[in-house]
Structure 1
Amino acid sequence: MEYRIDDLAREASTTSRNVRAYQERGLLPPPTLRGRVGIYGDEHLTRLKVIDSLLQRGFTSTHIADFLAGWEQGKDMGEILGLQEIVTRKWSSNDVKSIPLDTVEEFLGIRSTEIVDRLVASGLVRIEGDQCEILDPVLLESFIDMNEYGFTLEQLLDLHETTATSMNTIAESMIEAVAQHLIAQHGPGWMPQNDEIADTIQMFEKMRRLALESSQAELARALDRVQERALNEHLYQTLSRTSE
């Protein structure tokens, strides 16, 4: 994809000022100029996410510049960016629906600023000026569908937050397993070199797919078990009541 500087900053959850600063420090390559407009690509977005992640971990811009320069020297940029893309890629939905802020409650079918605040806190919506960006339109539409059956958005958000907490625990255990595996094989602080990069990319790709498929499969089996148990209990109570 192509981005102007404001679009790039928004996609990376940073600011245009930071993007310019990273360019001045040599951390981010300059954009392609089309007339007077700078055009950025996905490689810029990937690099920007890596820079922000390292800065949040306490590394200085000088450390990051040295690290990137040392890592990339003599290596294929396509493979480097491929590895960066794998470890920073979001597997959650990237679809975003933007609506005017003053129509959010109408969209949700509610009259409650508290619910909107909870949606923001849960990372399901983001307020940008007079616009509301719905970060997971499919999930929000599912909330609205269930609301028609009498479930309140408060109930559905409670359920979502409980599920999100459990999923975070599962994700942490899986990522920790990968980290410990790499440490056991190569020692702490290891970075892939040359032909190791392609293998590492493939390993990350397969592990993330395994994590997703494993979670989905086990959740489906758990739903089958719990649903059957709940149905049996309901039938038992119904029969007991009719036999009295």
Structure 2
Amino acid sequence: MEELARLAGITVRTLRFYRERKLIPPPRREGRIAWYDDDHLARLRTIAALLERGHTLTGIAELAEALDHGRDVADLLGVEPTEEEPVRLTPEELAARFEGQVTTENLAAALDLGYLGTDGGEIVHISRRLLDVSSALVREGIPLAEVLQAGARVREHADALAEMFAELVLAHGPEEDLHRLRPLARSVVEAELSLALDRRLGRSTTEGRPAE
């Protein structure tokens, strides 16, 4: 126990407290000897990262229960039902997709965004499109931590756009119209983003052109 606490950067007293709160699974026992492994250390580092991000111990305990019993972490984080196609992966497949960048900090960030959930021994990513784009950006040399930071910024803008569209539609019709007209909102966002990228690329071309 002392060695595990040292590696995790916490006190033995804190480790005992985490055990009492069931934030970490019990150790494997052989007689009177308790054995902790790398999974326990990874869990402790995840707890530390979540605490740094403002999660409460109560919330972390719920996440720990989900991880240990196969409940859906995304539900605990308040992720609403989505049209996006979820993807099931083993931990090894997730690590392979992101070239060894699935660190404790990045895992905590992905949990924060509601990207990841669990189902038994599998990991569930809430969106195949987001997973494919994220892994493609990592293959292009962009660190996963920066991809997740960008994802958080995109989430803020997307929430604002969704709220604006909802206000527009609901000001003139019932809630059912919001569901029916949802494809129009997607089309507007895709078109505007395409035009914005055209403008950005055009500006880069102009800035790179030598003065006459």
Paired amino acid for 2:106: I
Q: Which residue of 2 aligns with 1:108?
A: 98
The match for 1:91 among 65, 82, 86 is: 82
Find the partner of 1:222 among 185, 192, 196.
Answer: 192
Aligned residue type for 2:123: C
Residues 1:223 and 1:230: Cα distance change in structure 2 (over 3 Å): same
1:222 to 1:177, Cα distance in 2 relative to 1, 3 A: closer
CA deviation vs aligned residue, 1:144-193 (integer Å, no higher than 9, x gap): 112222222222222221111122223334445666667xxxxxxxxxxx
Q: Does 1:119 align with 2:110?
A: yes
Structure-1 residue corresponding to 2:148: 157
1:122 positional shift: 0.6
What aligned pairs does 1:7-26 form with structure 2 within 5 A after superposition? Answer: 13=75
Q: 5+ residue gaps in structure 2?
A: 1-70
**Paired residues, what number?**
140
Structure 2 CA distance for partners of 1:149 and 1:98, relative to 1, 3 Å: closer
Question: Highest CA radius of gyration, 1 or 2?
Answer: 1
**Alignment gaps of 5+ in structure 1:** 1-8, 15-52, 54-88, 183-202
Q: Secondary structure at the match of 2:140?
A: coil
> Are 1:141 and 2:132 an aligned pair?
yes
- Going from structure 1 to structure 2, the CA distance change for 1:205 and 1:91 (only over 3 Å counts) comes to farther
CA change 1:138–1:224 in 2 (3 A) is closer
Query: Is the 8 Å Cα contact of residues 117 and 125 (structure 2) preserved in structure 1?
Result: yes
Q: Which amino acid aligns with 2:179?
A: R
What code does the residue aligned with 1:220 have?
E
SS of residue paired to 1:97 = strand
* Alignment equivalent of 1:132, drawn from 110, 123, 132: 123
CA distance in 2, matches of 1:139, 1:145: 10
Q: For the residues of structure 1 that align with 2:171 and 2:81, how far apart are their CA atoms?
A: 22
Partners of 1:97 and 1:137 within 8 A in 2:
no
Taking structure 2 as the reference length, what is the TM-score of the superposition? 0.51
CA shift, 1:102, in A, is 5.4
1:125/1:136 contact within 8 Å kept: no
Q: Structure 1 CA distance, aligned partners of 2:100 and 2:124?
A: 17
Residue 182 of structure 2 corresponds to: 211
Q: What is the one-letter code of the residue matched to 1:123?
A: G
- The correspondence of residues 175-186 of structure 1 with structure 2, limited to 5 A, is 175-176=166-167
Maintained 8 Å contact 1:127/1:133: yes
What's the counterpart of residue 44 of structure 2? none
In 2 relative to 1, CA 223–181 (structure 1 residues): closer, same or farther, beyond 3 Å?
Answer: closer
Residue 162 of structure 2 aligns to a residue whose secondary structure is helix
1:231 shift after superposition: 2.3
1:172 to 124, 142, 163: 163
Match of 1:109, SS state, is coil
Q: What CA deviation, in whole Å up to 9, does each residue of 1:6-50 have, x standing for no partner?
A: xxx859948xxxxxxxxxxxxxxxxxxxxxxxxxxxxxxxxxxxx
For 1:239 and 1:173, the matched residues in 2 are separated by: 38
| Paired residues of 2:117 and 2:123 also in contact (CA < 8 A) | yes
Could you tell me how far apart the structure 1 residues matched to 2:199 and 2:117 are? 39
Q: What is the TM-score when the length of structure 1 is the normalising length?
A: 0.46
Residue 238 (structure 1) aligned with residue 208 (structure 2): yes
**RMSD value, Cα:** 3.6
Letter matched to residue 208 of structure 1: H
